[in-house]
Amino acid sequence: MSDKPPLRILLCAPRGFCAGVVRAIDVVEAALVRFGPPVYVRHEIVHNRYVVDALKRKGAVFIEELDEAPDGDRPVVFSAHGVAKSVPAAAKARNLIAIDATCPLVTKVHREAEIHHKRGRLVLLIGHAGHPEVIGTMGQLPEGAVLLVETVADVAALALPADAAELAYVTQTTLSIDDTADVVAALKARFPLIHGPHKEDICYATTNRQEAVKRVAPECDGLVVVGAPNSSNSQRLREVAERAGCRVARLVQRATDIDWDEFSGLATLGVTAGASAPEILVEEIIDAFAERYAVTVETVSTADESVFFPLPRELRAPAAE
């Protein structure tokens, strides 16, 4: 008989890598094969240190700005979060080989914003200031053509007349579903003529991971989100668990981040992972709990995912063309 206390682990599904993250990592790996190292990657390709370190060991060089890459014909990969239009233009001007790993679901938002702008509409972007995706989306249009709104209070504070006809909104892909619904409702109440996406811009992966946490959280006294502090979708998962009443909901990158005093005396623990966290780190976390508890693991599945994005054309094998 084990003298460890019992712990029921409810493992959320879907969790972890989304199709955009898988593609972004594949892009860097394919570029390393095609061009050989070094391959420059602007910004963390995805927000996960484990993934970034693994790619560094293979020859990827991570930079924050293009001017950190030397002039010449080396490849530069743009991260899954997307970049402002000025970035590929600057790469072209310096004869760098630009490879775009922007998630197609982020590119879709870029195109929506462009279409609204072409139709003469002021674009309101719902998102978090400073996030790379927000910087990239705002950078699709000239300065002043996009206004950022983060909260319902921001909507109330917009210096626009209520009858402003030519308005539209788009959103960051990794937001809280519930908070965004509140901001959209506030926009529609204040600007009844505002144009918006037919279906929201929050992506399938963000939606599915939040729904899975909503399902398990009411049964759990604790929940661990495996993910990085700068990962928007991971932070949102932690908030969803907290709002659902989990006594302790924490974002951890590795098992060594767990504060075992906080996670003592648990009966049921929820486990999930943000869209940029690899499954090996989920296993590491479960193993760490198994050292202290007699764990049983149940998977709670709320959706099936089969989304796949092919590599950019320039990296596809000739046979796949």
What's the residue count for the chain? 321
- For residue 184, the minimal CB distance to ligand SF4 (Å) is 18
Min CB(75)–ligand SF4 separation in Å: 20
Q: CB neighbours (10 Å) of residue 158?
A: 18
Q: Which of 48, 231, 233, 272 binds ligand SF4 (CB under 6 A)?
A: 233
CA distance 25 to 181: 31
- The pattern of x and - marking residues 73 through 92 that bind ligand SF4 according to CB under 6 A reads -------x------------
- Does residue 246 belong to the site contacting ligand SF4 (CB under 6 A)? no
**Residue 198 Cβ vs ligand SF4, minimum distance, rounded to whole Å:** 17
The rounded radius of gyration (Å) of the Cα atoms in the chain is: 21
| 203 lies in the site for ligand SF4, by CB under 6 A | yes
Query: Residues forming the annotated binding site for [4Fe-4S] cluster?
Result: 18, 103, 203
206 binds ligand SF4 (CB under 6 A): yes
State which of positions 21-50 bind ligand SF4 (CB under 6 A). 21
Longest dimension (CA), the chain: 71
- Binding to ligand SF4 by residue 103, rule CB under 6 A? yes
Q: How many CB atoms lie within 10 A of CB 283?
A: 12
Tell me the three-class secondary structure of 20-65, residue by residue: HHHHHHHHHHHHHHHHCCCEEEECCCCCCHHHHHHHHHHCEEEECC
Q: How many angstroms separate the first and last alpha carbons of the chain?
A: 59
* Residue of 264, 176, 177, 269 lying closest to 222 (CA atoms): 269
Shortest distance, position 125 Cβ to ligand SF4, whole Å: 15
Gap between the Cα atoms of 65 and 104, Å rounded: 22
Stretch that binds ligand SF4, among 147-155, 163-171, 202-210, 249-257 (CB under 6 A): 202-210
Q: Residue 223 in 3-state DSSP?
A: strand
- The residue sitting closest to ligand SF4, measured at its beta carbon, is 20
Phi first, then psi: what are they for 58, rounded to 5°? -90, -5
Q: Which is nearer to ligand SF4, 7 or 29 (CB)?
A: 29
Among 29, 44, 112, 133, the one annotated catalytic:
133
133 is catalytic: yes
Count of CB atoms within 10 A of residue 259's CB?
10
- Is residue 212 involved in binding ligand SF4 (CB under 6 A)? no
Find out whether 231 and 273 touch, Cβ atoms under 8 Å. no
Residue choice 41, 52, 98, 106 for contact with ligand SF4 (CB under 6 A):
106
Query: Contact between 19 and ligand SF4 (CB under 6 A)?
Result: yes
SS3 268: strand
**By the criterion CB under 6 A, which residues form the site for ligand SF4?**
18-21, 80, 103, 105-106, 173-174, 203, 205-206, 233, 275
Catalytic positions, please?
133
